[in-house]
Amino acid sequence: MTRSLARTPGKRSAFSRRWRWNKRAPLRVFYNAWLRAWYRLGMRHRVVHPEHMPPTGGTIVMINHVNWADPFVVLAALGRPITPMAKVEAFEDWRVRWLVAPYGAIPVHRGAVDVQAIKAATEVLNAGGVVLISPEGTRSKTGGLIQGQEGLAFLAVRTGAWVVPAGIVGTPDILPSLLRLRRAEVTITLGAPFKLTAEDNPPSREQLLALTDFAMRRLAAVLPPHMRGVYA
């Protein structure tokens, strides 16, 4: 029912314990300052159509995901505090745990319905906050969009939140460019915000699938043709 939040086909999280959401996000402001410095110094970073980001109200930012850096280049770039959803493997990895946990990321335990993650994201959206989701549920190995999962549609219908597609281009070039002492060009293109509604309450899986495809096509529209993948 909510695979992009809780379950990716063929994927199951391996974790030492159930990780909980640190809603206080004690280091988010500090890390955002660090991220903005990285945007200025480490890349040519720009946001196209920033006016499409709603200034208030519950908002889901949906991104394509082809590189580890994709969520990081968005988190401090849209003018509002953002709560990302992150697979629990990031909390298990000591190399990034120091960032995702105190940032207030919502851990997602894949392989079964993660009620904890659903409740946390709903809480943020109902309070008028912003949640960052990769609706594909995992990183694309092709560079193009892969099939979206229903979690995005489920949350959008459940909360009435705005959905803003954010197409990210250029992140695979960040590390290679830095090794050459150059700055990669990273662009985030925002599409017009929209809402998803269903005829039934709760919506059927068929309705969620149709709404997911509609949302993914909106994301594909703000990406260059070669990155639209199955939604070309």
Q: What is the CATH number of the domain that holds 56?
A: 3.40.1130
Residues 6+ apart with CB under 8 A from 202: none
Q: Can you read off the two tokens belonging to residue 153?
A: 């549609």
- The domain tally of the chain equals 1
- Enclosing domain of residue 174: 3-231
Supply angle C-alpha 195, 200, 204, rounded to 5: 95
Cα within 13 Å of Cα(204), Cβ side: 5
For tokens 């082809």, name the residue: 66
70-119 pLDDT, tens digit each: 999 999 999 999 999 999 999 999 888 999 999 999 999 876 678 899 99
Model pTM? 0.92
pLDDT score for 3: 40
| Contact between 13 and 89 (Cβ < 8 Å) | yes
| Contact between 149 and 136 (Cβ < 8 Å) | yes
From the centroid of its chain, how far is CA 9? 18
